[in-house]
Amino acid sequence: MSMTDPVADMLVRIRNACDAKHRRVDIPVSKLKLEIARLLRDNHFLQDYQVLDDGRHGLLRLYLKYHQGDQPVIRELRRVSTPGLRRYVGVREIPRVRNGLGMAILSTPKGLMTDREARQAHLGGELLAVVW
């Protein structure tokens, strides 16, 4: 069975794992998902990630991050641009998520970037997801 939106599937798996207080979640790996995981880790939304060989395509294992009271660091994870309705933004329309406490993930001509990196590089692109 083919999947229409693998990025949305990744975000839903992370959201469900956070709601269930899991320490880790496994996702089928792809280059795009790997870059999203890197951005989430570099911006302190995930503890870490690693790629596992399962004998087929591979798995991306994400280690989730929690505050002291077992509250997940990721409070909201939302897909903005979907296969049915792509959302492109210029550098001036890049949203500020929770006044800088969250981040937006953009697909730019120079690769995946956070909203801060895209503003600094003066690049617009497809607004993939919003995290806070």
- The whole-number average pLDDT for the span 74-86 is 96
Q: What mean pLDDT, rounded, does the chain reach?
A: 96
C-beta separation of 106 from 118 below 8 A: yes
Structure tokens at 12: 């839903």
Amino acid letter at 80?
A: V
Position 2 scores a pLDDT of 62
pLDDT of residue 69: 83
Domains of the chain, earliest start first: 6-64 (3.30.1370.30), 77-131 (3.30.1490.10)
- The segment with the largest mean pLDDT, out of 1-10, 68-77, 119-128, is 119-128
DSSP string, 53-108: --SSS-EEEEEE-B-TTS-BS---EEE-S-SSS--EE-GGGPPPGGGGTSEEEEEE
Q: Is the pLDDT of residue 3 over 90?
A: no
